[in-house]
Amino acid sequence: MQPELRPIQGDTYSGTQDIAVRQNKVLRNTYMLLAVTLIPTAIGALLGANLNLSFMRTSPMVSFIAILAIYFVLGMFLDGIGMLMLTLPVVYPAVLKLGYDPIWFGVIIVKLVEICLVTPPVGLNCYVVNGVRPDIPLSDIFQGVWPFVVADLIVIAFLYAFPDVVTFLPNTMFGKG
């Protein structure tokens, strides 16, 4: 017994034509998803292969602070996944060229995404809290997150000063250092 195909809203096709139209829509969405994920990766690989950081003439710490600032500003307007998909193909090769550990950088980026999920105007977690507790004004929630943002920035500074805190367990597991 064949399952009944219900029409997609706005479609008036039936039978084989309906299946072809649905397959076309699925393929189009799949190709769009591949384009969104593969194009930035290809650009990042191209830039990473030819990346020359000698023009920057700054210390790795200044470059790291610039990367933090860029993520902090982007996080105010983008969600975490969108921000990572846009920036990591370009930033990751630069971080490797600067000599930072990839696992350590991953932990730092996760902390930055957590910070960005509470900073206004897009602080999604603040809207979730407001949805759970509508009696608390959204402005109070946004004001209340700043001590946590400062605390997370202190944690990032601590992780920058002592990267072995992050890399100790992976290095022990894989026999490095």
- Note if the pTM is more than 0.85: no
**What whole-number distance in Å separates Cα of residue 66 and Cα of residue 122?**
21
- Which of 20-34, 43-57, 61-75, 129-143 is predicted least confidently? 43-57
Give the pLDDT of residue 43: 64
Total structural domains in the chain?
A: 1
Asked if residue 15 belongs to a domain, the reply is: no
**What whole-number distance in Å separates Cα of residue 25 and Cα of residue 9?**
13
Asked if residue 5 belongs to a domain, the reply is: no
Give the pLDDT of residue 133: 93
What pLDDT digit, counting tens, does each position of 91-138 carry?
888 888 888 999 999 999 999 989 988 888 888 888 899 999 999 999
Say which amino acid occupies 37: T
What pLDDT digit, counting tens, does each position of 146-177 carry?
999 999 999 999 999 999 999 888 888 888 76
Residue linked to tokens 């999920």: 117
Asked if residue 142 belongs to a domain, the reply is: yes
Q: Say yes or no to pLDDT of 57 above 70.
A: no
Which tops the pLDDT comparison, 24 or 144? Answer: 144
Give the pLDDT of residue 52: 55
Asked if residue 67 belongs to a domain, the reply is: yes
**What whole-number distance in Å separates Cα of residue 131 and Cα of residue 37?**
32
Asked if residue 19 belongs to a domain, the reply is: no
Asked if residue 138 belongs to a domain, the reply is: yes
Give the pLDDT of residue 154: 95
Q: Say yes or no to pLDDT of 15 above 80.
A: no
Full residue range of the structural domain in which residue 119 is found = 51-173
Q: HSE, CB side, 13 Å, CA atoms: give it for residue 104.
A: 21
* Pair 74, 117: CB distance under 8 Å: no
Asked if residue 27 belongs to a domain, the reply is: no
Q: Say yes or no to pLDDT of 51 above 60.
A: no
Give the pLDDT of residue 50: 54
